[in-house]
Amino acid sequence: MKKYTIMEAIEKGMQEVEFYGWVHRERGSNKFKFINLRDSSGIIQCVFNREDFSDDKWEDIDKLLIESSLKIVGKLVEDKRSEVGYEIQVSDFEIFNRADIFPITKDQSPEFLADNRHLWIRSRKMIAIMKVRSTYVQARDEFFRNEKFYRFDTPILQPSQSEGGSTLFEVNYYDSKTYLAQTWQLYGEAAIFALEKVYDMGPTFRAEKSKTSRHLSEFWMAEMEAAWFDLYDAIDFAKKELKYCIGKVIENNSKELEFLGQNVEKLKEMLNREWPTIKYREALKVLKEKSGMEVEFGKDLRTVEEEKLMEYFETPVAVTHYPKEVMAFYKPSDKDNKDEALCFDMLAPSGYGEIVGGSQRDLDIEEMSKRLLADGEDLENYQWYFDLRRYGSVMHSGYGVGIERVIRWICNLENIKDAIAFPRTMLRFKP
């Protein structure tokens, strides 16, 4: 087993080291060979002096191509010009695999990189993103444990829609049909009567018939559901969750964020600010007064409108009370304004759009039935869900965070596809 990564050895102040990794770059002359060795922690330059090796060994190392795997033994010496502050003077090495000519070279088309995604995830860009994502997701788990939530796992194969039939993926299930989960929520709601506060994160599926930079067909939604929470409790909690997780990313991955072109100071400052909550009707007013954009009440906000609106904010904003008639069946009416739903979307600044969606939950079986029937649904499929309203119903609320949406935003990524290692979109499900 490998003992220390490159960065661990440097941090420990070790001198004689043994590193295991891959050739990131190589160049050489007849006197020296330089290999940039990459492991999961970083990249270090390894210097081979011709004089220190037999002809055979020199031949071995001289012909080594990038992405070959090897062990390197040597001495760490300070090198001010190097990114990690050190280089290695190599005394010995062992090659595990001589790589073929690596297909990925500079300036490849996005299509080519997508076809070779299994190799492209070794790039510095993808490594940085995957590290941020890992920190984010681990921090989220920590957050919910600290808040005394129970982790609750639910089925991916589900009998019906919950977020609209048009984006369902149908799956043959023996002699009948099921659908891939569009959300964890309905089962999360069942769990609050046993556990009160639950959370989870899982693969989520939407047959989005659009090729935008913010939609995936398979993405990871991080959801929570809590008994006794009203809409505003859920919104405050979502802000707290995001601030906590982003704070942890800044703490652990500033280097990666900077590499990706994110302004870490600005991000940090944003965490200390109050994130506003406004009503949809106020958002329409802002759009009209500040940019002359007329949006009539009764429609969801389109991407252009979200982008325009967010030009006037420097932090995420929670927009509440969207028009009831265009919302999912489980979002209740506000009792004072029946045309508004007790729901919210959190929008990220700088044009990254919706990152969180949530609501208080409707407790009225009749209201929900009306809506489901209008959508052509078979009420039989929802009787189990209505039971939750028949046996000890209580006020409850929850929300879902789109993990790739958040990662895209904090990593400053042009396209959501890079926020996940193996993206699934309308046009691609390979490799």
User: Which CB, 120 or 409, lies closer to Mg ion?
Assistant: 409
Contact between 352 and ligand 4AD by CB under 6 A: the answer reads no
Contact between 216 and ligand 4AD by CB under 6 A: the answer reads yes
Contact between 68 and ligand 4AD by CB under 6 A: the answer reads no
- Interacting residue with ligand 4AD among 86, 187, 199, 399 (CB under 6 A): 399
- Interacting residue with ligand 4AD among 58, 143, 219, 322 (CB under 6 A): 219
Binding characters for Mg ion, 164-183, by CB under 5 A (x = yes): --------------------
Nearest to 121 by CA among 210, 7, 35, 38: 38
C-alpha to C-alpha distance for 61 and 23, rounded to whole angstroms: 11
Classify 25 in phi/psi space as left (phi over 0), alpha (psi -120 to 50) or beta: beta
Contact between 42 and Mg ion by CB under 5 A: the answer reads no
C-alpha to C-alpha distance for 249 and 240, rounded to whole angstroms: 14
- Interacting residue with ligand 4AD among 243, 357, 396, 423 (CB under 6 A): 357
Nearest to 348 by CA among 394, 426, 282, 412: 412
Site for ligand 4AD in 176-195 (CB under 6 A): 183, 185
Contact between 362 and ligand 4AD by CB under 6 A: the answer reads no
Three-state DSSP at 410 gives helix
C-alpha to C-alpha distance for 335 and 350, rounded to whole angstroms: 34
C-alpha to C-alpha distance for 85 and 378, rounded to whole angstroms: 65
Do 82 and 45 form a contact (C-beta atoms < 8 A)? yes
Q: Smallest distance from the beta carbon of 81 to ligand 4AD, in angstroms? A: 42
- Interacting residue with ligand 4AD among 33, 215, 371, 396 (CB under 6 A): 215
* CA of residue 327 relative to chain centroid, distance: 24
- Range 88-94 contact pairs with CB under 8 angstroms and sequence separation of 24 or more: 88/17, 88/19, 88/37, 88/44, 88/45, 88/46, 88/47, 89/47, 89/49, 90/46, 90/47, 90/48, 90/49, 90/52, 91/52, 93/48, 93/57, 93/61, 94/70
- Interacting residue with ligand 4AD among 180, 405, 407, 418 (CB under 6 A): 405
Interface stretch with Mg ion, choices 63-71, 76-84, 287-295, 351-359 (CB under 5 A): 351-359
- Interacting residue with ligand 4AD among 67, 200, 223, 241 (CB under 6 A): 223
User: Which CB, 208 or 305, lies closer to ligand 4AD?
Assistant: 208
Q: Smallest distance from the beta carbon of 357 to Mg ion, in angstroms? A: 3
Count of positions on this chain that bind ligand 4AD (CB under 6 A): 22
221 contact, one of Mg ion, ligand 4AD, none, CB 5-8 Å limit per kind: ligand 4AD
Do 166 and 118 form a contact (C-beta atoms < 8 A)? no
Q: Smallest distance from the beta carbon of 14 to ligand 4AD, in angstroms? A: 43
Do 69 and 2 form a contact (C-beta atoms < 8 A)? no
- Non-local (6+) Cβ contacts of 157 within 8 A are 171, 173, 178, 179, 180, 181
Do 149 and 170 form a contact (C-beta atoms < 8 A)? no
Please spell the DSSP secondary structure of 148-180, one letter per residue.
Answer: TPEE----SEESS-SS-GGGPPEEEETTEEEEE
Nearest to 306 by CA among 212, 412, 218: 212
183 contact, one of ligand 4AD, Mg ion, none, CB 5-8 Å limit per kind: ligand 4AD
- Interacting residue with ligand 4AD among 24, 358, 382, 425 (CB under 6 A): 358
C-alpha to C-alpha distance for 367 and 365, rounded to whole angstroms: 6
Which residue in this structure is represented by tokens 């909550």? Answer: 277
Contact between 353 and Mg ion by CB under 5 A: the answer reads no
Q: Smallest distance from the beta carbon of 419 to Mg ion, in angstroms? A: 17
Count of positions on this chain that bind Mg ion (CB under 5 A): 1
Site for ligand 4AD in 147-166 (CB under 6 A): 163
Q: Smallest distance from the beta carbon of 158 to ligand 4AD, in angstroms? A: 12
List the Cα angle 199/203/204 in 5-degree steps. Answer: 95
Contact between 357 and Mg ion by CB under 5 A: the answer reads yes
Q: Smallest distance from the beta carbon of 322 to Mg ion, in angstroms? A: 9
Q: Smallest distance from the beta carbon of 35 to ligand 4AD, in angstroms? A: 39
Sheet holding 176-180, edge to edge: 157-158, 176-180, 170-173
Contact between 417 and ligand 4AD by CB under 6 A: the answer reads no
The dihedrals phi and psi of 406, each to the nearest 5 degrees, come to -70, -45
User: Which CB, 305 or 354, lies closer to ligand 4AD?
Assistant: 354
User: Which CB, 69 or 277, lies closer to ligand 4AD?
Assistant: 277
Binding site for ligand 4AD (CB under 6 A): 163, 183, 185, 206, 208, 215-216, 219, 221, 223, 354-359, 398-400, 402, 404-405
Binding site for Mg ion (CB under 5 A): 357
